Structures are given as structure tokens and as C-alpha cells.
């Protein structure tokens, strides 16, 4: 956990993961700065409700601006003077990228480049950036390990995230910027995103509507509960990778397979390494809602991966912890929050 004196800038602070990261840091007494444009990709009311929760903290400050606006971003960095930057802002969603591809180029590439430029100028002691299990794409070797090839993305979303990994590596090398890429695996929990399966299934089940189950229910996901994800992020934040010493031949693979041989840069899977069958996930929702669902089984959608399954050895090595919240516990906490937030009995 970063010290109470740390100044931390979180992009995407009104988002699902960003909100929880900001909350944990603010509760610990850190000076937290959030950047978020509060887009309408999903309900802005939910994003503003998250920001309202954060506004209760004395040491939290929110900036409603886009990372695509370099002048506005520069003003934020000048005020924040961050010791740590946690870059979570992005255009998310695999399926949305089929319909709105340009938004991924604008946010994920251009926006990330702007953040990188500010990191280059302000030189925080650690730069952390969100990536995704989707970068493993057509890789069929499971569980996915950080040093596996991730050269065959099957959606534009995944391609932009893989591109940002390469972009940040180049800056880590050129400007000696300690950088950690975090590959998230199906994060879920209270205050989650309405476009994700848990939210949509819960909403429909409570409304007695039919639930769509893609991949005929035969998909597997390495579901990672939000509290476990935040714990990993905060522990990683306090442990920046060191600049390699010696020749690339002797440093490659030292202290973890994902460390760069030429830059203070590492890639880390943030997951528990416990994939769950989609139908088991559905059954957990049914148990906690308290009634069976009417299911409509559908084929895989374009861009979907059949299985996401992380090797979690490195995150455990670096943080001395491994995401371990069970689906039953995590789903139960989400549904409890959902009922309370939306006033559903």
C-alpha cells in the first residue's frame, strides 16, 4: 500500500475499477486525484454516484476531463504532481468495438499517449496501466502466462490494449520510467459495469426476463473479485520494477518472466487462476437472487474468447497474495449491493 504522504493520480476514477482504487487509497489517507470524462458508454448516473461516494473524502479531488484533451490533462498533472499514476481510463468492451471502433483508437491509443507524455514530463516513481486478458487472443496455451505470445488479438479492443503495452514499454526504455502493465481478468463486484454479464443477468432475472447465455454456456472465465483486484493493484503500486542491469541475455527472465530485458517494465496477470464455467456463474446468480432463470442459449459472439485462464504465480510472487474470493461470495456481495442501490427486493 502506498504511504499516506503519496500523491496518486488515477485516470478513469469514475469507472468501476477506478472508483474502488480511489476509495481504497482515500481511506488509507493518500492524496488522490481522479481524471474521468464521465462518458455515456454506460449510465453516467452510476458514474456520478461513484464520484459522490468519493467526494466524502477530504483528500480526494476529481477532474471531469478527457485524457484525449492534452491541454486539460497537462493542467491536471501540474496540480496533482503525482508520485504514482494508475492509468485505468479506456474505452472498454469487446462487443462495443465492433460497432464503434474509432472510440477505441481515440481513447485507448491517443488518450494513453497523452498520459504517457505527462508521465515522461512529471516522472512519477511508478506508472501502472490497465490491460486485459483479451490480449492473449488466439493463444491456445492455457493457463495464460505473461511471457506467452500475445500477437494475435481477435478484436480491435484487444489490439488497442496490446498496442498500449508496446507503447508504454518504449517509453519505459527511452525515459527510464518504472512501468507495470496489469492484465485484468473479468473483474466483477459491487458498483460494477452495466454492460457486463453479472449486471445484465441480475437485472433480467430480477425482472423475470429471459437471460442470454452465449457460447451455449460452455465458456470459462477467470472471474476476479473487485476487492482482490484492488489489493493487487495497491501492492503492485508500491513495488515498481527496477532498471535492468547487465546485458539483455543475462537479465531476461530475472525476477519474473515478464520483466523487460532493457527497461524497468513488467507485465502481470491480475487474476486468481481459477476459471469458472459460465453456467456455474449463472447458477450462483440464481442462488443469491432466489429463483431460477429462464435461459436462452446462444452461440459465441464475434470476438469472444472460449476460455480465459491466468497463471497467477507472478502476481502472488510480487504481492504475496493471490485473488481468492469465491464466485459464491463475490456474486452474493454484488447482488446485495444491486438490490440496495436500485431498491429492488
Measure CA 11 to chain center. Answer: 11
Are 42 and 195 in contact, with CB atoms under 8 Å apart?
yes
Give the orientation angle of helix 112-122 with respect to helix 156-175, to 10 degrees. Answer: 20
Q: Name the β-bridge partners of 34.
A: 10, 62
Active-site residue flag, 157: yes
Are 32 and 10 in contact, with CB atoms under 8 Å apart?
yes
8-46 burial, b at 16+ Cβ within 10 Å, e below that, comes to bbbbbbbbbbbbbbbbbbbebebbbbbbbbbeebbeeeb
Q: Return the number of other C-beta atoms located less than 10 Å from residue 248's C-beta.
A: 10
Select which of 157, 225, 309, 338 is catalytic. 157
Task: Report the C-alpha gap between 137 and 159 in whole angstroms.
Answer: 9
Known catalytic residues?
157
Amino acid at each position: 500500500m502506498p504511504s499516506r504522504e503519496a500523491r496518486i493520480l488515477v485516470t478513469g476514477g469514475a469507472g468501476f475499477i477506478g472508483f474502488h482504487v480511489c476509495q481504497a487509497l482515500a481511506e488509507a489517507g493518500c492524496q488522490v486525484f481522479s481524471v474521468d470524462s464521465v462518458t455515456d458508454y454506460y449510465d453516467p448516473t452510476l458514474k456520478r454516484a461513484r464520484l459522490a461516494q468519493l467526494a466524502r473524502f477530504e483528500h480526494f479531488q476529481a477532474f471531469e476531463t478527457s485524457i484525449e484533451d492534452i491541454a486539460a490533462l497537462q493542467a491536471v498533472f501540474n496540480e496533482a504532481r503525482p508520485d504514482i499514476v494508475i492509468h485505468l481510463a479506456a474505452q472498454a468492451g469487446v462487443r462495443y468495438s465492433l460497432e464503434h471502433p474509432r472510440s477505441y483508437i481515440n481513447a485507448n491509443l491517443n488518450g494513453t499517449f497523452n498520459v504517457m507524455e505527462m508521465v515522461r514530463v512529471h516522472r512519477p516513481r511508478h506508472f501502472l496501466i490497465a490491460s486485459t486478458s483479451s490480449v492473449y487472443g488466439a493463444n491456445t496455451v492455457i493457463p495464460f502466462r505473461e511471457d506467452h505470445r500475445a500477437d494475435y488479438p481477435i478484436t480491435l479492443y484487444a489490439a488497442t490494449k496490446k498496442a498500449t503495452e508496446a507503447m508504454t514499454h518504449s517509453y519505459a526504455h527511452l525515459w527510464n520510467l518504472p512501468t507495470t502493465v496489469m492484465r485484468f481478468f473479468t473483474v466483477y463486484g459491487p458498483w460494477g459495469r452495466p454492460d457486463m454479464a453479472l449486471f445484465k443477468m441480475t437485472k433480467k432475472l430480477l425482472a423475470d426476463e429471459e437471460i442470454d447465455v452465449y457460447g451455449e454456456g460452455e465458456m470459462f472465465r477467470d472471474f476476479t473479485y473487485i476487492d482482490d483486484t484492488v489489493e493487487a493493484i495497491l501492492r503492485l503500486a508500491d513495488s515498481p520494477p527496477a532498471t535492468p542491469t547487465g546485458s539483455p541475455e543475462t537479465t531476461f527472465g530475472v525476477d519474473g518472466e515478464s520483466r523487460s530485458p532493457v527497461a524497468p517494465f513488467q507485465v502481470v496477470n491480475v487474476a486468481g487462476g481459477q476459471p469458472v464455467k459460465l453456467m456455474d456463474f449463472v447458477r450462483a446468480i440464481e442462488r443469491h437472487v432466489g429463483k431460477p432463470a429462464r435461459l436462452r442459449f446462444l452461440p459465441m459472439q464475434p470476438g469472444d474468447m472460449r476460455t480465459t485462464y491466468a497463471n497467477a504465480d507472478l502476481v502472488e510472487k510480487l504481492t504475496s497474495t493471490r485473488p481468492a474470493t469465491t464466485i459464491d461470495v463475490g456474486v452474493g456481495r454484488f447482488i446485495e449491493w444491486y438490490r440496495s442501490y436500485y431498491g429492488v427486493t
